Amino acid sequence: MNIRFSGFGGQGVVLAGVIYGRAATIEGKNALQTQSYGSASRGGASKSDVIISDEQIYELEFTTPDVLIAMSQEAYTIYAQQLKEQCIVIVEKDLVRTEGVKIYSIPATRIAEGLGQKIMANIVMLGFMSALVSEVQPQIVSKDAVCKAIYESVPKGTGDKNIQAFEEGYKLGMFNLKLQSTKS
Amino acid sequence: MKLSKVYRDYLHRFSNKTLFMQGDIACAYGALYGGCNFLAGYPITPASEIGEQLALELPKIGGYAIQMEDEIASIAAVIGAVWSGARAMTATSGPGFSLMQENIGYAIMTETPCVIVNVQRSGPSTGQATKPAQGDVMQARWGTHGDHEIIALSPSSVQECLQLTIECFNLAETYRHPVILLMDGEVGHMREKIVMPDPDKIELTGRRLAKPGELMFGGQLIPPMTEFGAGSFVHVTGSTHKDNGMRDVETQKVHDKLIRRMYEKIDKNRDKLIRVEKDYMEEAKVAVVSYGATARPAKGAVIQARKEGKRIDFLRLIGIWPFLCRVWRRNSS
């Protein structure tokens, strides 16, 4: 499974990829995370790609993701080209306009702000995504593994707060799935 | 030789653990498992994480990490530290590696065992700082002037970043020669699964110190050395020197003898230094030869091609220098 987290520098898209890759490793899967970013510490396009597989991973990069998360308009414009039909696309509602394409749009930054830390928008996103992925591929990475990976990856003392952000995103993801199933 | 007790006690926390780690960080831990106790460096993308991690870890176990004013000073400090008894390294990328070339020559000429990590990035010059590249292979071989040999290894996974860094330290001591770890920005910055070794099981090659009266720059293929302050007098110079280390910049025979010995200490051990990963190298007429990060997708492509019934071999260079010319001829006949 190929997952791409994208946005601008400073939004934590690299960390989100690292956490999910680490979670896959905790699950005993093979995971490979690469990143590409500009030379500025904030701003500029940034992406973090994660490949998860039961097999040995040879390819270091992919062209078409199975899941795309775009947290900025620029990232969406670049990476939403030529997507697979089944690709799950999730965008930051307040920052990305998508003009009618069917995707998931969530106000991750606003939710994080509501929890007191705007900087945790990436973790809210991660929670939302984890919920959706667990629906498509339930065996890939468990919620517990992601939570464990969050504790291992975020600064000491911020674990609980980040888990809260993850849970908020996860809940919203589950709610969206339920909504879908009632519609169909 | 085993790792010191302080190092073993510290590294036990990682023993046999499966972690999700970045290549640069694995290199830094490889240095600790390799007994490194001194780092001098100057930050540069994509190698900064190595120095950062060692700056965090080394002081906890009695080691030193210094940020120097530039890369020339970094390698100079490394050479000085080694002659004071340290197991020392520096980590940089292409632009810094270019700056280091003069003193890499000095390390070769003074037979100073040290490790130079080059996490290659796009160039020439500052190039595209955050983009990976593999363009320094020839610079590693011939970047510094004059007739010389070099040892260079190239990892293609995070696990290998750790393993090969340990080996670099051992090879440096075995051959009393600088050893280059040629990583690339892709391997350095990617994260994947790594199984950390048990520090008790690590075998280190120690430094061979001269007995009183023993020659330190000749008399045998790989002479022993000393530490400044250990009691014996030694003269260390980048100029041509006799077996006892004293300069001789006039006599052609002295230069010839020195350069030939330094060449032979690598050349006579070529078979030990050449390291490859061979897959399927039996009957095919076409082989994909690769190294570093690109060896991964290259191998994936070969596996795919063989599934489709094509006879293609795969050869990955782990030891980049000395080059595997002999193995290569045998297989391409």
Considering the domain B5-201 in this protein, what is its CATH number? 3.40.50.970
CA separation, residue A124 to residues A14, A169, A178 (Å): 14, 4, 18
Q: With left for phi above 0 and alpha for psi between -120 and 50, is residue A10 left, alpha or beta?
A: left
Tokens 């520096």 belong to which residue?
A: B90
Dump pLDDT digits (tens) for B308-325.
Answer: 998 888 999 999 999 887
Residue A100: its pLDDT value, please? Answer: 64
A142/chain B closest Cα distance in angstroms: 16
Residue A139: its pLDDT value, please? Answer: 85
Can you tell me the distance from the alpha carbon of A32 to that of A12, in angstroms, rounded to the nearest whole number?
Answer: 18
Query: A37 vs B130: CB contact, 8 Å cut-off?
Result: yes
Tokens of residue B310, six digits: 């094509």
pLDDT of B130 > 80? The answer is yes
Q: Which of A53, A60, A150 to mutate to test the interface with B (most CBs of B within 10 A)?
A: A60
If you average pLDDT over every residue of chain B, what do you get?
Answer: 94
Which of A28-37, A41-50, A59-68, B249-258 has the highest mean predicted lDDT (pLDDT)? B249-258
Can you tell me the distance from the alpha carbon of B53 to that of B61, in angstroms, rounded to the nearest whole number?
Answer: 13
Q: Which of A32, A54, A59, A61 to mutate to test the interface with B (most CBs of B within 10 A)?
A: A32
> Edge to edge, what strands does the sheet with B276-279 contain?
B276-279, B312-317, B286-290
Cβ atoms < 10 Å from Cβ of B10: 17
Cβ atoms < 10 Å from Cβ of A158: 16
Contact status, residue B234 vs residue B216, Cβ threshold 8 Å: yes
Dump pLDDT digits (tens) for B214-225.
Answer: 999 999 999 999
Segments of B189-243 assigned E as strands: 191-195
CA separation, residue B111 to residues B39, B82, B163 (Å): 19, 11, 24
Residue B162: its pLDDT value, please? Answer: 98
| B200: Cβ contacts below 8 Å, ≥ 6 apart | B2, B8, B15
Range of weakest confidence among B86-90, B172-176, B231-235 = B231-235
CA separation, residue B295 to residues A34, A58, B133, B134, B277 (Å): 16, 8, 13, 11, 10
Range of weakest confidence among A101-105, A155-159, A167-171, B67-71 = A101-105
Contact status, residue B112 vs residue B82, Cβ threshold 8 Å: yes
Tokens 């060896």 belong to which residue?
A: B295
Tell me if chain B has a CB within 8 Å of the CB of A158.
no
Q: What interface predicted TM-score (ipTM) does this complex get? A: 0.90
Can you tell me the distance from the alpha carbon of B149 to that of B131, in angstroms, rounded to the nearest whole number?
Answer: 29
Q: What are phi and psi of B117, to 5 degrees?
A: -95, 130
- Domains of chain A from N-terminus onward: 2-183 (3.40.920.10)
Dump pLDDT digits (tens) for A78-137.
Answer: 898 878 888 999 999 999 988 767 789 999 999 999 999 999 999 999 999 999 999 888
Contact status, residue B107 vs residue B89, Cβ threshold 8 Å: no
Where do the domains of chain B lie? Answer: 5-201, 278-332
Bridging pattern class, strands B319-321 and B151-153: antiparallel
Tell me if chain A has a CB within 8 Å of the CB of B31.
no
pLDDT of A32 > 70? The answer is yes
Residue B189 with chain A: CB contacts under 8 Å = 34-35
Tell me if chain B has a CB within 8 Å of the CB of A57.
yes
Range of weakest confidence among B184-188, B202-206, B270-274, B328-332 = B328-332
Residue B333: its pLDDT value, please? Answer: 43
Q: What are phi and psi of B8, to 5 degrees?
A: -65, -45
Report percent pLDDT > 70 for chain B.
96
Judged by DSSP in three states, B117 sits in strand
Can you tell me the distance from the alpha carbon of B35 to that of B20, in angstroms, rounded to the nearest whole number?
Answer: 23
Quick one: DSSP state of residue A60? S
